[in-house]
């Protein structure tokens, strides 16, 4: 198996104002140690309004947690009320940006081609996209989960060079498992993450497929992370609910100690 450093990411969604966010990150940093950071990369993705505060805490206390964003606009600047550009995120020392989260796709109608444009804009500003893909329960029941993910990857990665694809993170998140408490079995999650890697091999070649980090997301908790992480093609987790509280997120990041 290729040597891929695991990445454990916490997507806070629309939770934690900047006071709560500072407390959360400080508490998280007290629970993590140098071994944890050497074993895996750890990122937090707070709401936009928290980014500057969290950047200041991480940099002033030398905390090696990576700062992430949940969303971005694909244009550099302009009349896009309420939006935030990748150039603005780069200035805050943001390292990773989530794109194509199922909530953005379903609630805000983001398309694969917009997601593709966002991924390119993220690269332009020297950050790494975490591209989310995954099927609904109806699609799974209809036996088209793999087709859906393949289309999301084919269209989402269009025109992105091999080196860049290799540096990306792909989060496989079955929509029926997000925020529901219903986790995919480790075997199902492995099968779909291996499928993601196989799609990347078809798009960008074997070497790129071996480099790309594939996360699983969907009701990840301290009790199920170790078994998920023991699967060959799962290189990390994108965590929602269980990432809001420092102790549970720290235990997820320390899955190897279980
Ligand atoms: C997510 O927000 O991407 C997610 C997987 O949420 P949860 O862990 O709460 O299912």
Q: Mind listing the pLDDT tens digit for each residue in 35-59?
A: 999 999 999 999 999 999 999 999 9
Which domains can be identified in the chain, with CATH numbers?
Answer: 7-253 (3.20.20.70)
Residue where the block lists tokens 């194509």: 100
125 a catalytic residue: no
Give the residue-averaged pLDDT of 129-137. 97
One-character DSSP codes across 203-215: HH-HHHHHHSEEE
Confidence grade of residue 196 (pLDDT, cut at 50, 70, 90): very high
Residue pair 253/232 in contact by the 8 Å Cβ criterion: no
pLDDT attached to residue 39? 97
92-128 pLDDT per residue, tens: 999 999 999 999 999 999 999 999 999 999 999 999 9
Residue where the block lists tokens 């499928």: 195
Confidence grade of residue 256 (pLDDT, cut at 50, 70, 90): very high
* Phi (first) and psi of residue 214, to 5 degrees: -110, 120
Contact partners, residue 252, CB within 8 Å, separation at least 6: 8, 220, 221, 222, 225, 237, 239, 242, 243
What residue's CA is closest to ligand 1, atom 5? 218
pLDDT attached to residue 182? 84
Separation between Cα atoms, residue 256 and residue 32, nearest integer Å: 13
* CB of 103 shorter than 6 A to ligand 1: no
What residue's CA is closest to ligand 1, atom 4? 240
pLDDT attached to residue 231? 97
Question: What is the number of the ligand 1 atom nearest to the C-alpha of 178?
Answer: 10
pLDDT attached to residue 18? 98
pLDDT attached to residue 258? 87
Give the residue-averaged pLDDT of 29-37. 97
Question: What is the number of the ligand 1 atom nearest to the C-alpha of 101?
Answer: 3
Distance of CA 39 to the CA centre of its chain: 18
pLDDT attached to residue 221? 97
pLDDT attached to residue 179? 86
Query: In whole numbers, what is the pLDDT of the chain averaged over residues?
Result: 97
Give the residue-averaged pLDDT of 212-230. 97
CB atoms near residue 30 (< 10 Å): 11
* CB of 241 shorter than 6 A to ligand 1: yes
Strand, coil or helix: 80: coil
* CB of 134 shorter than 6 A to ligand 1: no
Give the residue-averaged pLDDT of 224-233. 97
* CB of 100 shorter than 6 A to ligand 1: no
What residue's CA is closest to ligand 1, atom 1? 240
Question: What is the number of the ligand 1 atom nearest to the C-alpha of 217?
Answer: 5
- Of 192, 219, 245, which is best to mutate to test ligand 1, by the most ligand atoms within 8 angstroms of its C-beta? 219
Question: What is the number of the ligand 1 atom nearest to the C-alpha of 132?
Answer: 3
| pLDDT surpasses 80 at 2 | no
β-strands 66-69, 96-99 pairing: parallel
90 a catalytic residue: no
pLDDT attached to residue 181? 84
Separation between Cα atoms, residue 76 and residue 74, nearest integer Å: 7
pLDDT attached to residue 1? 52
Signed CA dihedral, 244, 233, 152, 167: sign only = positive
């Amino acid at each position: 198996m290729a040597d891929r450093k695991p990445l454990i990411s916490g997507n806070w969604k629309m939770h934690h104002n900047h006071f709560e966010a500072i407390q959360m990150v400080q508490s998280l940093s007290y629970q993590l140690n140098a071994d944890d950071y050497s074993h895996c990369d750890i990122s937090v993705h707070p709401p936009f309004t928290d980014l500057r505060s969290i950047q200041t805490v991480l940099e002033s206390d030398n905390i090696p947690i990576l700062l992430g964003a949940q969303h971005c606009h694909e244009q550099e600047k302009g009349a896009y009320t309420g939006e935030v550009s990748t150039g603005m995120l780069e200035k805050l020392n943001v390292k990773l940006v989530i794109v194509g989260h199922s909530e953005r796709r379903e609630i805000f109608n983001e398309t694969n081609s917009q997601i593709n444009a966002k991924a390119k804009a993220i690269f332009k500003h020297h950050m790494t996209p975490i591209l989310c893909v995954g099927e609904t329960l109806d699609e799974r029941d209809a036996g088209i989960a793999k087709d859906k993910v393949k289309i999301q990857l084919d269209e989402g990665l269009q025109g992105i060079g091999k080196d860049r694809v290799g540096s990306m993170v792909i989060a496989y998140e079955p929509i029926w498992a997000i925020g529901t408490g219903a986790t995919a079995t480790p075997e199902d999650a492995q099968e779909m993450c291996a499928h993601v890697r196989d799609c990347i091999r078809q798009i960008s070649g074997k070497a790129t497929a071996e480099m790309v980090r594939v996360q699983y997301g969907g009701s990840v908790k301290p009790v199920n992370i170790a078994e998920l992480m023991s699967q060959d093609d799962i290189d990390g987790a994108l965590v929602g609910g269980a990432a809001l509280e420092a102790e549970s997120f720290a235990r997820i990041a320390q899955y190897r100690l279980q």
